[in-house]
Structure 1
Amino acid sequence: MKTVAGIDLGTQSMKVVIYDYEKKEIIEKASCPMDLISEADGTREQTTEWFDKGLEVCFGKLSAENKKTIEAIGVSGQQHGFVPLDKDGKPLYNIKLWCDTSTAEECAYITKKAGGDKKVVAALGNLMLPGFTAPKILWLKNHKPDAFAKLTYIMLPHDYLNWKLTGEYVMEYGDSSGTALFDSKKRCWSKKICDIIDSSLMSKLPKLIEAHEAAGKVSAEAAKAYGIPEGIPVSAGGGDNMMGAVGTGTVADGFLTMSMGTSGTLYGYSDKPIADPANGLSGFCSSTGGWLPLLCTMNCTVSTEFIRGLFNLEVKELDGIAAKAPCGSEGVLVIPFFNGERTPNLPNGRASITGMTSANTSRENICRAAMESSVFAMRGGLDAFRKLGFQPKEIRLIGGGSKSPLWRQIAADVMNLPIRVPALDEAAALGGAVQALWCLKSQSGKCDIAQLCAEHIKLDESKNADPIAANVAAYDKAYADYQKMVDTVSPLYK
């Protein structure tokens, strides 16, 4: 048996899968929940100790026999998080996460010093947003100056796991492009932005490596700690969206992946730089050598979880109740900014339920509106893709939302595109495993990632959802009403 392993470090949990690349199946998987530090000022943090524990727990749950067969490992991690370490690799502060919105002042400072939004976009291909890494570094400098003075290593979550496995300090282009320190078009660090934060920052950033290269080899220490083979390659890895692209086969023009988890993301592979930051389309690099324009919302399944809790419903109960309401929920709208929002850029945004009358106020309409809002929020990203000349063929749907037949149909109708679901779940972890296989095969010769994904990423035809013309028309109107309401309330939170 020949296997590779994929690790997915998410916001809510860490997962590890062992993938038999000859039989093309996941033979074993394990997970460990992750805690979250959450404060009213938008703070969202975790600790390196929790990440360390996650590796121990997950690998500890896997069988010794299966672990012996692992030939390479690939790591996926939540994007943008800032892991600050001193010269001995000790944490200097908590890890500020992608969903942390406490750095709005730092974003405004960097943007002003750079000459405004247009100059920032010219330097990075992205706006300076609270979710990105750069303002988190400045936050540490401003709020924890003693810790900043000792800062030696700047890592993203997936880089930290790579470092734990190999002892090597490197970063690849995909996750780097989500730091807001990186020029996505030129594929290099932006000295202009780095110098605004601190004149020493450029010297502290890691070496950049290509997507097919190894970050390093499993160290003797890691092999002993986790029961995995010493000396096997650990691939470059990448952000969870970049690895989700690999795990869904979104490595060629025309395919989009939509992830419906805590956050919502919509992204597609491009062989040239594509970005529209003003409309929420970030200009990221892929972790397969090209580019991965991406829209991210901070509130996707968050909205249904809050509504489900409000009515004290189980997941399937919410789906059943929502299914009784018509498309558009008779005009009821949920504005889902429970955690602030990134697209549109409203770190101080608030959620609301609106459009209610004496005739349409019902659990059914509110539950369905919560589901619809998650997709409406990404419809704008699809429009931005099309304006830039991207011709979408279909959407590969992953995340918790992909498990719901109703949500799959809503997505197909709102986006007016076929929805397809990968046969194997855990797309980010599987993407890490497939990238690890790419790295392994590249060591003995050139290997094509698109061909590799075509061989290993299969779709579950029983979960297909295609747009229904009448529903598409209803949702075009409902989406217009939703967008009008978002435009109306947005000035309240700026």
Structure 2
Amino acid sequence: MKTVAGIDLGTQSMKVVIYDYEKKEIIEKASCPMDLISESDGKREQKAQWFDEGLEVCFGKLSAENKKTIEAIGVSGQQHGFVPLDKDGKALYNIKLWCDTSTTAECEEITKKAGGDNAVVDALGNLMLTGFTAPKILWLKKNKADAFAALKYIMLPHDYLNWKLTGNYVMEYGDASGTALFDSKNRCWSKKICDIIDPKLIDILPTLIEPSAPAGRVTSEAASKYGIPAGIPVSAGGGDNMMGAIGTGTVADGFLTMSMGTSGTLYGYSDKPISDPANGLSGFCSSTGGWLPLLCTMNCTVATEFVRNLFQMEVKELDAEAAKSPCGAEGVLVVPFFNGERTPNLPNGKASITGLTSANTNRANIARASLESAVFAMRGGLDAFRKLGFHPKEIRLIGGGSKSPIWRQIAADVMNLPVRVPLLDEAAALGGAVQALWCLKNLTGKCDIVKLCAEHIKLDEKKSTNPIADNVEKYNAAYKKYSEVVETLSPLYR
């Protein structure tokens, strides 16, 4: 048996899968939950120690026999998180996460010193947003001066796991492009932005590597701790969206992946750099060599979870209740900014339920509106893709939302595109495993990632969903109303 392993470090959990690349099946997987430090000022943090423990727990749950067959490992990690370490590799502070919105002032400061939004976009291909890494580093400098003075290593979550496995301090282009320190067009660190934060910054950033290159090889220490073979390659890895793209086969022009998890993301592969930061479309690099324009919303299953808990319903009960309501929920709209919002850029945004009347106020309409709101939030990203000349063929749907038949149909109708679901779940972990296989094959020859994904990423035809013309028309009208409401409310939160 020949296998590769994929690790996915998410916000809520860490997962490890062992993938038999000859039989093309996941033969074993393990997971453990991740805690979250959450406060009312927008703070969302985790501890490096929890990542260490997660690796030990997950690998500890896997069989020794299967672990011996692993030939390469690939790591996926939540994007943008800032892991600050001293010269000895000791964490200097908690890890500020992608969903941390406590750095609004730092974003404004960097943007002003850079010369405004247009100057930042020119330097990076992106706006300076609270979710990104750069303002988190400035926050550390301003609020934890001693920690910043001792700062030696700046890692993202997936880089930290690579470092624990290999001892190497490197970063690939995909995850680097989400730091707001990286020139995505020219694939290099932006000295201009780094110097605004601190002159020493550019000298302590990791070495950049190609996505097909190995980050290193498993050390004897890591092999002993996790029960895996020493010396096997660890691929470059990448952010969870970049690995999700591989795990869904979104590695060629025309395909879009939509992830409906805690956050909502919509991204597609492009052979050339494209972005529209003003409309929420970030200019990221892919972890396969091209680019990955991406829209991210802060609230996806967050919205449905709040509504579900409000009515004290199980997940399937929420779906069943929503199915009683027609497309557009009879005018009821949920504005799902429970965690603030990134698209539109409203870190201080608040959620609301609007459009209520004496005739339409019921659980079914509110339940359906919560499902619809997550897709409405990503519809703007699809429009931005099209304006930039991207011609979408279909959507590959992943995340918790992909398991819901009614949510799949809403997605197909709102986006007016066929929706397909990968046969194997755990797209980010699977993407890490397939990238590991790509890296392994490239060590002995030349391997095409598009062909490799076509071979290993299969779709579940039973879950394929096509748009219904009558529903599409109704949702065009409902989306227009949703956009008007968001535009009207936005000035309240700026």
TM, length-normalised to structure 2: 1.00
Deviations 1:135-161 (A, max 9, x none): 000000000000000000000000000
1:179-202, Cα deviation, whole Å (9 max, x unpaired): 000000011000000000000000
Residue in 1 aligned with 2:398?
398
Query: Separation in 2 of the partners of 1:54 and 1:4?
Result: 19
Q: Deviations over 1:99-129 (max 9, x none)?
A: 0000000000000000000000000000000
Read off the aligned partner of 1:6 and give its amino acid letter. G
Structure 1 residue 265: Cα displacement: 0.1
Q: What is the CA-CA distance between 1:329 and the residue it aligns to?
A: 0.1
Shift of 1:295: 0.1
Name the SS for the 1:151 alignment partner.
Answer: coil
User: What's the CA shift for 1:93?
Assistant: 0.1
Residues 1:363 and 2:366 aligned together: no
User: What stretches of structure 2 of length at least 5 have no aligned partner?
Assistant: none
Report the equivalent of 1:181: 181
- Residues 271-326 of structure 1, C-alpha deviation per residue, up to 9 Å, x if partnerless? 00000000000000000000000000000000000000000000000000000000
Partner of 1:345: 345
The CA deviation string for residues 195-253 of structure 1, in whole angstroms up to 9 with x for no partner, is: 00000000000000001100000001100000000000000000000000000000000
Partner of 1:432: 432
Amino acid at match of 2:130: P
* Other structure's SS at 1:446 match: coil
Deviations 1:390-427 (A, max 9, x none): 00000000000000000000000000000000000000
Structure-1 separation of matches of 2:373 and 2:83: 32
1:437 Cα deviation after fit: 0.1
| Residue number in structure 2 paired with 1:153 | 153
Which residue matches 1:105?
105
Paired residue for 1:414? 414
Pairing 1:271-282 to 2, within 5 Å after superposition: 271-282=271-282
Tell me the SS of whatever aligns to 2:437.
helix
Q: Alpha-carbon deviation of 1:451?
A: 0.2
C-alpha distance in structure 1 between counterparts of 2:337 and 2:50, whole Å: 27
1:333 matched residue in structure 2: 333
Distance (Å, rounded) in 2 between the aligned partners of 1:40 and 1:204: 32
Separation in 2, partners of 1:297, 1:50:
26
Distance 1:443 1:216 in 2: 12
Give runs of aligned pairs for residues 95-494 of structure 1, distance below 5 A. 95-494=95-494
Q: In the aligned structure 1, how far is the partner of 2:435 from the partner of 2:404?
A: 28
In structure 2, what is the Cα distance between the partners aligned to 1:142 and 1:414? 44
- Distance in structure 2 (CA, Å) of the matches to 1:14 and 1:333: 34
Aligned residue pair count: 494
SS in 1 for 2:98: coil
Shift of 1:327: 0.1
Structure 1 residue aligned with 2:22: 22
Deviation of 1:360 (Å): 0.3
**Cα deviation, residue 29, structure 1:** 0.1
Deviation digits for residues 419-478 of structure 1, max 9, x if unmatched?
A: 000000000000000000000000001100000000000000000110000000000000
1:484 partner SS: helix
Among all aligned residue pairs of Structure 1 and Structure 2, give the percentage whose two residues are the same amino acid: 83
Q: Distance in 2 between matches of 1:491 and 1:17?
A: 45
Q: Which stretches of structure 1, 4 residues or longer, exceed 2 Å deviation after superposition?
A: none
- Secondary structure of the equivalent of 2:487? helix
- Matches of 2:274 and 2:430, distance apart in 1: 26
Provide the C-alpha distance between the structure 2 equivalents of 1:248 and 1:139, rounded to a whole number of angstroms: 35
- What SS class does the counterpart of residue 342 from structure 1 fall into? coil
**Equivalent residue letter for 2:357:** T
Separation (CA, whole Å) in 2 of partners of 1:42 and 1:489: 20
CA distances 1:308-356 after superposition (whole Å, capped 9, x unpaired): 0000000000000000000000000000000000000000000000000
Residue identity in the other structure for 2:341: E
Distance in 1 of aligned mates of 2:187 and 2:414: 34
Match for residue 47 of structure 1? 47
Counterpart-to-counterpart distance in 1, 2:394 and 2:360? 34
**Matched residues in 2 for 1:411 and 1:79: separation?**
24
Instruction: Give the Cα separation in 1 of the matches to 2:118 and 2:203.
Output: 26
The amino acid across from 1:147 in the alignment is A
Which stretches in structure 1 are left out of the alignment for 5+ residues? none
The alignment yields a C-alpha RMSD, in angstroms, of 0.2
* d(CA) in 2 for partners of 1:450, 1:207: 26
Residues in 2 aligned to 1:368 and 1:303: alpha-carbon distance in whole angstroms? 11
SS at match of 2:334: strand
Task: Compute the displacement of 1:483 (Å).
Answer: 0.3
SS at match of 1:40: coil
Report what 2:9 is aligned to. 9
SS of 1:447's partner is coil
> What is the CA distance between 1:383 and its match in structure 2?
0.1
